[in-house]
Chain A
């Protein structure tokens, strides 16, 4: 019964995923990052389907970092599925994307995204921002999970 935070990182771009994980590695609290690279895998994990059906191996995440443009199932559809589910809608979903397109922002909030963060170009800022996100959602923010 570890008191570890679970971060689900949904990111198709491997380099970006690596950048995000490196950023989060400096987050002091105990946490583990689970990375999936497409929308379908993300949903399978959250809803414990297929290879993720064992709850021990795939604990419910405390934070989901979700990219929008994903193979197979788009990020926005992943978001919609999560927020449609009464069991999972309390999980904070932070949209982490490089898109600043207004329709994306509007649609994200329409489907109850908790936050919308644009990946910064600058390396330092990227790293700082990842820490801020983790800090805020995992330490400051309180949720019923």
Chain B
């Protein structure tokens, strides 16, 4: 069975795997979106953390600015001497209370440090380009942060607070309070407690990284890094929070991967399962459909076949199936076939019962002949010849369970064969006849020749001796021989003409035909004093006129020839009916023929009397003409001296 790979047959594969593909793409999208969600989540966390740090840092600066505002008010309210003494005490107090302070100075508008507390730490502000900040302060009138300063390997940063003194309605910029802050002390208080552990921080002021958590051997998730850049106090702060690539995040990612893989695996298995199922369904549907189709095909063949197709169960011998041709063949209906086991006994010719049953008992053993021939008698009594071809069906264990086959009507074949055999025999006979005919002719023609030559030889001798009388006798013999020869030739020509010339069959008035036939012998009939009685009631015949005329002439001549010494010669010609068959007859009361010569008389050149003048062709010719018309002829005689009757049959005109 060859099947084309159509789209249909591939569907059971295409559908599940395209479903799987869609599923896979969906999962990949989900995976990537879940990852980006995770990244987003982590980034938000980082951002929160960065913002909190920023807020805390600002709060801290605000607190410090408040401290400095108090100190600044001293300078703006009091005289420089008073202010200085008050400043030193207050500044020392503030600095001692708050560890973020390193030192607090007061710097005038031209950059001179007027006060410095506590006195035991170095004056870092001296390192600053204070003029730059002072001009900024004068302009903005707002607190200001310096760039980070590196001192003793530590970062410091200076917070300036401007000081203004009222003179009239104007405020005059007189200096600045500058607090040096310890960055190391600031960091712990601004780093958010909510910052997740393992997060990495980087704090940049201006371009200087002033703090960075220790990050050796740690990988960071760049996608989720939060940058926060804030401008305030005349300074640029940048806070960067790096989430680490491990811990909860790692777990989340790993979980999403695992879920992805497991889903893919599950959907892949589902796709395989689905395709297998679909294939199975598809195949079963196809084989089912094909089975049905082939069954239909077989049925159609069987139902329309002219031969009888059957299946007989073994060992019961019950018909399981017969095609409709069975009832045409046997005259029994299909239902009758199914009605009882060994039903075939009903229609098998009783003469063939034993043979067919022998075949059946061989079939039970699984050994039936592949072809059997037997005769059946149909329900209507018609005799038929059949040929049956058989195939035994075995079960898995090799036991015969049924035999199937085809029964063909071979009646015509048988008849044709018989006809052929008959024809061959006939042909052989005719061939032999022909051969004998040839020999016979040559023999018969040679006979007068021998006579002629023989007596010519004697005539020569007699002439030499002068024996006139004997010579005359011999000459007569020679003449007689030539006459015989001529007659023979004429007869042969007549014989060969039979059925060759007049091809048209015509309706012939038999009475007229017979009268015409007797004309030739009117002289002999008269001299022989023969009374000729012709029946006027003969039916008309259908045939070849010339041949039929010949037929009657020969029969009449035969009767005249063999009249013998009958004192009251008589010839009767007429017709009769026997068993519904019309026949003609010609009878005489002449010398008769012994019944043992009944057949011989029709043979070529066969004569019963050596002295008769005939050639022995006449009755052969009669027989041939009768044969040509499909009739028969029979001679009857009670024996020598009892007269002869020829009965014959010819086709009648309709």
The answer to the question of A106 belonging to the interface, with a C-beta cut-off of 8 Å to chain B, is no
**Contact assessment for B446 and A15 in the assembled complex, using a CB-CB cutoff below 8 Å:** no
**Contact assessment for A98 and B443 in the assembled complex, using a CB-CB cutoff below 8 Å:** yes
The answer to the question of B252 belonging to the interface, with a C-beta cut-off of 8 Å to chain A, is no
The residue from B435, B444, B454 contacting A15, defined by CB atoms under 8 A apart: B454
The answer to the question of B451 belonging to the interface, with a C-beta cut-off of 8 Å to chain A, is yes
The residue from A15, A69, A70 contacting B443, defined by CB atoms under 8 A apart: A69
Per the 8 Å Cβ criterion, residues 513-538 of B in contact with A are: none
**Contact assessment for B610 and A14 in the assembled complex, using a CB-CB cutoff below 8 Å:** yes
* Chain B residues positioned under 8 Å from A18 (CB to CB): 477
**Contact assessment for A19 and B439 in the assembled complex, using a CB-CB cutoff below 8 Å:** no
**Contact assessment for A15 and B477 in the assembled complex, using a CB-CB cutoff below 8 Å:** yes
**Contact assessment for A121 and B480 in the assembled complex, using a CB-CB cutoff below 8 Å:** no
* Chain A residues positioned under 8 Å from B451 (CB to CB): 13, 15-16, 19
Q: B643 to chain A: closest CB distance in Å?
A: 18
**Contact assessment for A15 and B480 in the assembled complex, using a CB-CB cutoff below 8 Å:** yes
* Chain B residues positioned under 8 Å from A119 (CB to CB): 446, 450
Interface residues on B, range: 20 to 34
Interface residues contributed by chain A, number (CB under 8 Å) = 29
The residue from B439, B453, B606, B610 contacting A104, defined by CB atoms under 8 A apart: B439
Query: Which of B86-94, B327-335, B455-463 has 4 or more CB atoms under 8 Å from chain A?
Result: B455-463
The answer to the question of A99 belonging to the interface, with a C-beta cut-off of 8 Å to chain B, is yes
The answer to the question of B544 belonging to the interface, with a C-beta cut-off of 8 Å to chain A, is no
Interchain CA distance A14-B447 in the complex, whole Å:
11
* Chain A residues positioned under 8 Å from B609 (CB to CB): 38, 71-72
Q: B98 to chain A: closest CB distance in Å?
A: 165
Closest-by-CB residue of A relative to B481 is A15
Per the 8 Å Cβ criterion, residues 97-114 of A in contact with B are: 97-101, 103-104
Closest-by-CB residue of A relative to B456 is A123
The answer to the question of B608 belonging to the interface, with a C-beta cut-off of 8 Å to chain A, is yes
* Chain B residues positioned under 8 Å from A38 (CB to CB): 609-610
Interchain CA distance A122-B444 in the complex, whole Å:
17
The answer to the question of B25 belonging to the interface, with a C-beta cut-off of 8 Å to chain A, is no
Residue from the set A15, A22, A97, A103 with the largest chain B CB neighbour count within 10 Å? A15
The answer to the question of A51 belonging to the interface, with a C-beta cut-off of 8 Å to chain B, is no
Residue from the set B447, B451, B606 with the largest chain A CB neighbour count within 10 Å? B447
The answer to the question of A47 belonging to the interface, with a C-beta cut-off of 8 Å to chain B, is no
Per the 8 Å Cβ criterion, residues 426-447 of B in contact with A are: 435-436, 439-440, 442-444, 446-447
The residue from B453, B606, B611 contacting A123, defined by CB atoms under 8 A apart: B453
The answer to the question of B597 belonging to the interface, with a C-beta cut-off of 8 Å to chain A, is yes
Interchain CA distance A121-B445 in the complex, whole Å:
11
**Contact assessment for A98 and B456 in the assembled complex, using a CB-CB cutoff below 8 Å:** no
With A72-B597, A123-B456, A123-B457 as contacts: A16 and B447 at CB distance below 8 Å: yes
Interchain CA distance A72-B609 in the complex, whole Å:
7
Closest-by-CB residue of B relative to A23 is B454
The answer to the question of A81 belonging to the interface, with a C-beta cut-off of 8 Å to chain B, is no
* Chain A residues positioned under 8 Å from B611 (CB to CB): 37
With A13-B451, A19-B451, A119-B450 as contacts: A127 and B457 at CB distance below 8 Å: yes
The residue from B450, B457, B480 contacting A16, defined by CB atoms under 8 A apart: B450
* Chain B residues positioned under 8 Å from A12 (CB to CB): 607, 610
Chain A binding site: helix, strand, loop or mixed by DSSP?
loop
Q: A118 to chain B: closest CB distance in Å?
A: 9
Per the 8 Å Cβ criterion, residues 92-129 of B in contact with A are: none
Interchain CA distance A126-B610 in the complex, whole Å:
22
Interchain CA distance A134-B139 in the complex, whole Å:
191
The answer to the question of A124 belonging to the interface, with a C-beta cut-off of 8 Å to chain B, is yes
Q: A27 to chain B: closest CB distance in Å?
A: 17
**Contact assessment for B610 and A15 in the assembled complex, using a CB-CB cutoff below 8 Å:** no
The answer to the question of B310 belonging to the interface, with a C-beta cut-off of 8 Å to chain A, is no
Closest-by-CB residue of B relative to A123 is B457
Interchain CA distance A122-B436 in the complex, whole Å:
25
Q: A39 to chain B: closest CB distance in Å?
A: 10
* Chain B residues positioned under 8 Å from A121 (CB to CB): 446, 449-450, 453
Interchain CA distance A36-B458 in the complex, whole Å:
23
With A15-B477, A101-B439, A119-B450 as contacts: A71 and B457 at CB distance below 8 Å: no
**Contact assessment for A19 and B455 in the assembled complex, using a CB-CB cutoff below 8 Å:** yes
**Contact assessment for A126 and B454 in the assembled complex, using a CB-CB cutoff below 8 Å:** yes
* Chain B residues positioned under 8 Å from A124 (CB to CB): 457
* Chain A residues positioned under 8 Å from B435 (CB to CB): 103
The answer to the question of B173 belonging to the interface, with a C-beta cut-off of 8 Å to chain A, is no
Interchain CA distance A23-B480 in the complex, whole Å:
21
Q: A48 to chain B: closest CB distance in Å?
A: 21
Interchain CA distance A38-B616 in the complex, whole Å:
14
The answer to the question of B605 belonging to the interface, with a C-beta cut-off of 8 Å to chain A, is yes
Q: B484 to chain A: closest CB distance in Å?
A: 9
Per the 8 Å Cβ criterion, residues 1-28 of A in contact with B are: 12-16, 18-19, 22
With A19-B455, A71-B606, A126-B454 as contacts: A101 and B481 at CB distance below 8 Å: no
**Contact assessment for B477 and A98 in the assembled complex, using a CB-CB cutoff below 8 Å:** no
* Chain B residues positioned under 8 Å from A22 (CB to CB): 458
Interchain CA distance A97-B597 in the complex, whole Å:
23
Interchain CA distance A12-B608 in the complex, whole Å:
10
Q: A106 to chain B: closest CB distance in Å?
A: 12
Closest-by-CB residue of B relative to A72 is B608
* Chain A residues positioned under 8 Å from B455 (CB to CB): 15, 19
Interchain CA distance A22-B398 in the complex, whole Å:
93
**Contact assessment for A98 and B610 in the assembled complex, using a CB-CB cutoff below 8 Å:** no
With A12-B610, A18-B477, A72-B608 as contacts: A122 and B439 at CB distance below 8 Å: no
Closest-by-CB residue of B relative to A41 is B610
* Chain A residues positioned under 8 Å from B443 (CB to CB): 69, 97-99, 101
**Contact assessment for A98 and B450 in the assembled complex, using a CB-CB cutoff below 8 Å:** yes
Closest-by-CB residue of A relative to B597 is A72
The residue from A72, A100, A126 contacting B450, defined by CB atoms under 8 A apart: A126
* Chain A residues positioned under 8 Å from B449 (CB to CB): 121
Q: B108 to chain A: closest CB distance in Å?
A: 176
Contacts from A to B (Cβ < 8 Å): 12-16, 18-19, 22, 37-38, 69-72, 97-101, 103-104, 119-124, 126-127
Q: A19-B450, A38-B609, A123-B454 are in contact. List 14 more A-B contacts (CB 8 A).
A: A15-B455, A15-B480, A16-B451, A38-B610, A69-B605, A98-B443, A98-B450, A99-B443, A101-B439, A121-B446, A121-B453, A126-B450, A126-B454, A126-B457
- Which 6 A-B residue pairs are closest in the complex by CB-CB distance? A123-B457, A101-B439, A37-B610, A15-B451, A12-B610, A19-B454
A selection of 9 A-B contacts at a CB cut-off of 8 Å is: A15-B477, A69-B605, A98-B443, A100-B442, A103-B439, A121-B446, A121-B450, A123-B458, A127-B457
